[in-house]
Chains A and B, each alone.
Chain A
Amino acid sequence: MTTIDKEATLQSNRSGTGTRATRILGIATIISMLWLVAFGLGFSPADRDQEEAVRLMYVHVPTIWIAYLTFVVTAVASGIYLFGRSKSLGWDRLAGASAEIGTVFVALTLVVGALWGRLTWGVFWQWDARLTTTALLFVTYVGYLAVRRLGGSHQQRARRSAVIGLLAVLLIPLVHWSVRLWRSLHQEATVLDSDGDIDMDGLMLFSLFVGVVAFTLFYIWLLLHRTRVMALEDLMEDRGLDQALSERRNEAASMNAAVPNSEEI
């Protein structure tokens, strides 16, 4: 291989937002997802009460876990941006990327939950406390993402979305404890309940654990990529703005040169 070929290969390897670490993380994510399919659809036994519908739990529970995690990360990053000294836009991008992923995961939670509801309750949707507060959580973060797309500078975007990010996270305790606060059709937490007891078959618990690990790895992998993409988007936006300003200045300068001054007249 010539030096030019080596340089070309190096350049092509550097394209995109990937690094060695994200590639390793990506492979680990794919392997854990395959494990989830194997355990969720194959090895896990059917439940005594829910029967085969329990297999939906291995997707439904990890998706809401990821949604909670993403919104907490958004709130923490927003807090660091708002109250920290650096005012680094990196925190704002981390908050935005995390909220984007979380919003998709809440939507998945709602859809998979509706399918599970149809199998166990006989209906897709009930205006139940848990379902309603989860839908409210989804709408709130859609609003957060909409606010991020309003005009203004990057710093303005970061400031206003950080405030919303810090307020919106307060919905999570409401969603989580809604089954206790109100009379709810939705079951209480099986694993992270207040008395610490886990009433689950070992293989079922392991399948759930595989799901949580798989989705958490995916979240970290996607968060890294999305944050980098956002940095590139901001950079391109700044460049576009600089270019437009420079074109305007050149245009103004050429117009001034074309207009004869009073001495020439």
Chain B
Amino acid sequence: MEDAGFIIGSYVLTFVTIAFMSWRVLRSGRRLADQVPDEDKYWL
């Protein structure tokens, strides 16, 4: 039972961290991109 808690906890921790990193980067990208004209976005 202890094993299950550690194993599932590790997966949850990993995926929550990944999701948080993604959310943070996408949110700041969206916020900054709104203030910059398209010609300054080299990826477009």
Residues of B within 8 A of A14 (CB): 33, 38, 41, 44
**Number of inter-chain CB pairs below 8 Å:** 96
Docked-complex contact B30 and A59, CB < 8 angstroms: no
Q: Does chain B have a CB within 8 A of A15?
A: yes
Q: Which of A59, A116, A229, A235 contacts B11 (CB 8 A)?
A: A59
If A228-B43, A236-B32 touch, whether A56 touches B25 (CB-CB below 8 Å) is no
Contact A15/B6 with A41-B11, A228-B41, A236-B35 known, Cβ cut-off 8 Å: no
Structural contact, B7 and A55, CB atoms closer than 8 A: yes
Contacts of A231 in B (CB 8 A): 42
Interface residues on A, range: 35 or more
Residues of B within 8 A of A51 (CB): 3
Q: Which residues of A contact B11 (CB under 8 A)?
A: 37, 40-41, 59
| In the complex, residue of chain B having the shortest beta-carbon distance to the beta carbon of A51 | B3
Q: Is there an interface contact between A17 and B17, defined as CB atoms closer than 8 Å?
A: no
Chain B: minimal CB distance from A66 (Å): 11
A52 part of interface (Cβ distance < 8 Å): yes
Query: Apart from A218-B18, A222-B21, A224-B43, what are 14 other A-B pairs with CB-CB below 8 Å?
Result: A14-B33, A17-B25, A17-B26, A18-B29, A41-B11, A53-B6, A53-B7, A59-B11, A112-B10, A225-B22, A225-B26, A228-B43, A229-B29, A232-B32
